[in-house]
Chain A
């Protein structure tokens, strides 16, 4: 039910909105019609008999006979009932007004009056009369200004109550200026204009007060007691009803009494006080700056009005009244300026073009109407017909004939004033088609930027985006376009500090006007974070202004600010129009999306490249590793290489020597990827070559070190462990080149580390190496590994470490070499809680067999081999598997 009520409320609201809007439009048109009507009435010179009677009465009883302006006496007396004017009998004030209006000014006209029950005919000389005084033209200008500005503000900001109230205020002021209660022309329309004028006079103070009670922000009183708002209008309505009744039953011309003026004046005064309070209460210096012009303008306009017109009531002459009304033009102008300059009420008002365009369009319509009537008259005359059917037919024909001409002229007007309006649709279509096709960002900015330069008539357009390094808060120039010859002389800066401005842009997602602060803020340092932010923004704004920028338009993609359009002022100083902002907003959105697409595309390309490199590195690495481990009597030898996501330079090798000894190598090359794999390959080749010519590991390492140092740069090096096993002596002659010391587990469980050697290979050319010879017993086990094993980190950040390796060797020492390696691998996976380590892991194990077992295993070892499974894990292969392998 609540949902239904909410739906109904929403529906009602959505229905009410257009109704309310059309009500306001109709009110504006009615006000315009009334003002034109009143102006026509006031400006028309009409004959006058010097008497005062009421149009609202049933008879034409003369109420007053004021002194005539020409001083001539009149034979008419108060109390006389006018029964006829000229040669026309009149039964009502309207007929009397009509009869009076048809007389000649200056003529002596017979008046039939009823006096004390007798009918008399009295000659009356008519004088000329016009309700408009000599200031009326200025009042007309005032009314026009109020009407135009009020309507513009309503059209741009009708969703705000303040804009609607300001609109009503302006309409009522326009009526106020154009109507006059003290003088009546007895024109039939006087009833309308005088009543409208009276209503305006009564309602104005209430709306004035109401407006300043909610502008710029609702006063606390109103928020707490919302009933005050409608109550403001009770007294004015009562006054108006009294005024209306006076027209029918009063004994003199209806007027607004002094006491009522004073009461209404108190409304105005309260409104002024509310405005001053609002100004004083504003804390934000920018807001205060915006309010300053508005406040001063309103005070300057209203105070004389309060003094000369309201306080002095209707007792002053037209000159004094003019003093009170003349400055009132400052009120709407101050508001319009504040809105256009500072976007007070958060609405855009562009007056210049709209006013001229509206005037020309209206003039064109009037001209069209006149031409239609003229052409219709010609057609009627030619046809010789006078019937109404013929009149209608001729008029329709004329209207149809002239309609295309009117449309064409209107089109020229539209194109002249709203070039971008005509182009807006095509521009949007063009952008909509072009932008998605332009993946390359530089091309996108160039093409779109150039188009925008032409459409908006600006010398250049620049796009800034955040620095790639998130630690750098600057905004960098992503691209720019210009059509101006002097653009190279005024290049766009490469870097801009826009942090605070960017935050604001991201927050509000609306165009940001760049303007230099006209006054230096009194705040030297910020006391709060907001003030600091404000200061920074002001500084950035000044900087942008120095760089020649006038407008920033944010580019958001998925609520994330990815860039900013920065534009200078238009050529010729024209303002950016609403259509320009609409275009920029739409284009910026599309470009933002396209920027994101472009970035993702580049990311994808990089990823692909990386994948390719990884694959190549893996391929190289796989070729480094020996296809099979040679059989050596008396030992169980196995090796495995577990590759990580990023291929590193781990490798192992076994090189059988002619004399039956076996060289065992394990190495870890610096770097990752293809370079590391290539280095490993080079190292392997060098080692293999030197192992043939020498049997001294130290000598070999020395030579390989020199070779590696000369052929690569010092940043490329390798750790290396080279050992030569003599199966006859059951000895191992080794040398370590900075490698993790292999773990020797004696049969009795003692752990020895083989540390003899020197520096890593290839780092320094002066490195020297020592070798050591050890002897094995039955059951001894040598475990070789790379640092990928011991330096692997668990999810908790714990290292696998050598202690764990020693413990595992102790645990699994009885397993065969391959099983031991498999168990070690399993333990590693379990430790990591994943299948892959961050670095390659290479493991080798050499188990010294029992003498008898050594012979029997000789044949088996010959058949041992390894292969690489598709997942990069090298596992030992039994002889049976090897036979069955494809």
Chain B
């Protein structure tokens, strides 16, 4: 008895030590090589941090070591997709598909299939089904949760946020979750919270470009232009080819009225993203900027160029109609717009998504508003903008609503409704108090309402902002006029 009392605890100690020191962690995915698995894990982390080049390298080496590593192939396909190499991606998808059948583990098979599903826009039902299965099997698996949260990001942000919070409860240092939570918070107007999340994201991955880029986005949305510029530049310092930051930096400059600089950057990045959705994004940014800063000739040129380059793209029909409206051919524009709407509704019906349906329907109001503005029919513009806002308010982040509020305010001011314009101006300023156009509107509306103090304050805020903007912008003239009015009033 005495002997067994000595031997038993000793055996327990030995086994515990062995398991602790010798026993390795169990693998989530099947592979014959531990090196391949390590490379896969690296590639997964790099993918999550938008280091697609590094991710591709790691995952390629992983599948070279173990050609039957299904999940590595699936992930590699995703990376190739995101870097717009669809053919190569399809090749990997086909191989991964064939390997999936040989997987004995049902959960692993579901995970690989889910990853493959994520690369195609269709198969929503299948994706949902796989997700449901995996959530039931491994409710605390980070990969599953992450997929679930990402899946809910657009349509169910509250659910998405909850799932990301759960991920953080399991793994407090899961950096991608902070990124997503940052955007989720920003999209719901919680910019301080978003900044907090993204600062943590930066803290967790200071050597990656994406965190700085994300933080730059939020900072730019709240008008912290200098800090946002710093973050974008930091991202570019880390990864000079991180084109997202280049585009965002260009947009930042454009938002500040530094069109020359902004456009210059965007044109520099264009060759790297030609024939990709990113190029389209650049065009849209430029079009909108020129339109906002009332450089109409350039905006028209941009639209024309966009239409030429992207004849089959979804938004091309809208731009066609707009161009017609800008050129004064409202009737043709209306016809074009109706045709676009018909087509858009047809395409949108496939998604069976209310949000997408609303977005599509709102385009009609947007066109009406813009077209009315072109005609100086501010009353019609007010109505259209109001309807547009009502339709898109829930889906549009606050930092993107400013443009509508500003346009509405402009029309209201033009209609002599200074009070409404003032309200619109105030709405446009939130969350970015450093945006020139809302401040101008605020100053003018305040003047209209006799609130000289408010106008004066707005003017004071405008002064340094205007000083940074390009000198040949129409807004410079408007500002001088505003100042002159104020000076006059001050003398009086």
Q: How many Å from the CB of A398 to the closest CB on chain B?
A: 8
B196-247 residues at the A interface, CB under 8 angstroms? 196, 199-200, 202-206
Contact partner, B204, options A84, A91, A373, A388, Cβ 8 Å: A84
Interface of B is mostly: helix
C-alpha spacing A395/B173, complex, angstroms: 34
C-alpha spacing A112/B195, complex, angstroms: 13
C-alpha spacing A396/B18, complex, angstroms: 9
Is B464 part of the binding interface, using a Cβ–Cβ cutoff of 8 Å?
A: no
Q: How many Å from the CB of B226 to the closest CB on chain A?
A: 16
Instruction: Please determine whether B15 and A121 come into contact, CB atoms closer than 8 angstroms.
Output: no
Is A110 part of the binding interface, using a Cβ–Cβ cutoff of 8 Å?
A: yes
Q: Are A376 and B22 also in contact (CB < 8 A) when A369-B13, A392-B15, A399-B14 are?
A: yes
C-alpha spacing A395/B195, complex, angstroms: 51
Q: How many Å from the CB of A114 to the closest CB on chain B?
A: 9
Instruction: Please determine whether B18 and A392 come into contact, CB atoms closer than 8 angstroms.
Output: yes
Q: Other CB < 8 Å A-B pairs besides A87-B203, A372-B18, A386-B34, 16 of them?
A: A84-B200, A95-B172, A110-B206, A112-B203, A121-B202, A369-B17, A373-B17, A373-B22, A377-B22, A388-B19, A388-B26, A391-B18, A391-B23, A392-B19, A396-B11, A396-B15
Is A775 part of the binding interface, using a Cβ–Cβ cutoff of 8 Å?
A: no
23 A/B residue pairs, CB under 8 Å, sorted by A: A83-B200, A83-B203, A84-B203, A87-B173, A87-B205, A88-B204, A89-B173, A91-B172, A110-B203, A119-B200, A121-B199, A121-B206, A369-B17, A386-B34, A388-B19, A388-B23, A388-B26, A394-B22, A395-B14, A395-B18, A396-B11, A396-B15, A399-B11
Is A429 part of the binding interface, using a Cβ–Cβ cutoff of 8 Å?
A: no
Q: How many Å from the CB of B15 to the closest CB on chain A?
A: 6
Instruction: Please determine whether A112 and B200 come into contact, CB atoms closer than 8 angstroms.
Output: yes
Number of A residues near B (Cβ < 8 Å) is 27
Residues from chain B with Cβ under 8 Å of A119 in the complex: 195-196, 199-200
Q: Interface residues, chain B, CB within 8 Å of chain A?
A: 10-11, 13-15, 17-19, 21-24, 26, 34, 172-173, 195-196, 199-200, 202-206
Q: Which 8 A-B pairs have the closest CB atoms?
A: A395-B18, A391-B23, A112-B203, A84-B203, A119-B199, A388-B23, A386-B24, A391-B22
Q: How many Å from the CB of B106 to the closest CB on chain A?
A: 19
Residues from chain A with Cβ under 8 Å of B26 in the complex: 387-388
Instruction: Please determine whether A89 and B17 come into contact, CB atoms closer than 8 angstroms.
Output: no
Q: How many Å from the CB of B14 to the closest CB on chain A?
A: 5
A116-171 residues at the B interface, CB under 8 angstroms? 119, 121
Instruction: Please determine whether A372 and B199 come into contact, CB atoms closer than 8 angstroms.
Output: no
Instruction: Please determine whether A121 and B203 come into contact, CB atoms closer than 8 angstroms.
Output: yes
C-alpha spacing A373/B17, complex, angstroms: 8
Q: How many Å from the CB of A269 to the closest CB on chain B?
A: 43
Residues from chain B with Cβ under 8 Å of A399 in the complex: 11, 14
A376-395 residues at the B interface, CB under 8 angstroms? 376-377, 380, 386-388, 391-392, 394-395
Instruction: Please determine whether B15 and A395 come into contact, CB atoms closer than 8 angstroms.
Output: yes
Contact partner, A89, options B10, B11, B18, B203, Cβ 8 Å: B203
Instruction: Please determine whether A373 and B203 come into contact, CB atoms closer than 8 angstroms.
Output: no
**Residue of B whose beta carbon sits closest to that of A85:** B203
C-alpha spacing A83/B203, complex, angstroms: 10
Residues from chain B with Cβ under 8 Å of A95 in the complex: 172
Residues from chain B with Cβ under 8 Å of A372 in the complex: 14, 18
Instruction: Please determine whether A89 and B172 come into contact, CB atoms closer than 8 angstroms.
Output: yes
**Residue of B whose beta carbon sits closest to that of A380:** B22
Instruction: Please determine whether A395 and B204 come into contact, CB atoms closer than 8 angstroms.
Output: no
**Residue of A whose beta carbon sits closest to that of B11:** A399
**Residue of A whose beta carbon sits closest to that of B24:** A386
Residues from chain A with Cβ under 8 Å of B24 in the complex: 386
Residues from chain B with Cβ under 8 Å of A84 in the complex: 200, 203-204
Residues from chain A with Cβ under 8 Å of B14 in the complex: 369, 372-373, 395, 399
Q: Binary interface profile of A, 357-370, with partner B (CB < 8 Å = 1, else 0)?
A: 00000000100010
Residues from chain A with Cβ under 8 Å of B21 in the complex: 373
Of B18, B172, B203, the most chain A CB neighbours within 10 A belong to B18
Residues from chain A with Cβ under 8 Å of B13 in the complex: 369
Q: How many Å from the CB of B228 to the closest CB on chain A?
A: 16
Q: Are A87 and B17 also in contact (CB < 8 A) when A95-B172, A119-B199, A388-B23 are?
A: no
Residues from chain B with Cβ under 8 Å of A396 in the complex: 11, 15
Instruction: Please determine whether A373 and B18 come into contact, CB atoms closer than 8 angstroms.
Output: yes
Q: Binary interface profile of A, 553-564, with partner B (CB < 8 Å = 1, else 0)?
A: 000000000000
C-alpha spacing A89/B21, complex, angstroms: 27
Residues from chain A with Cβ under 8 Å of B205 in the complex: 87
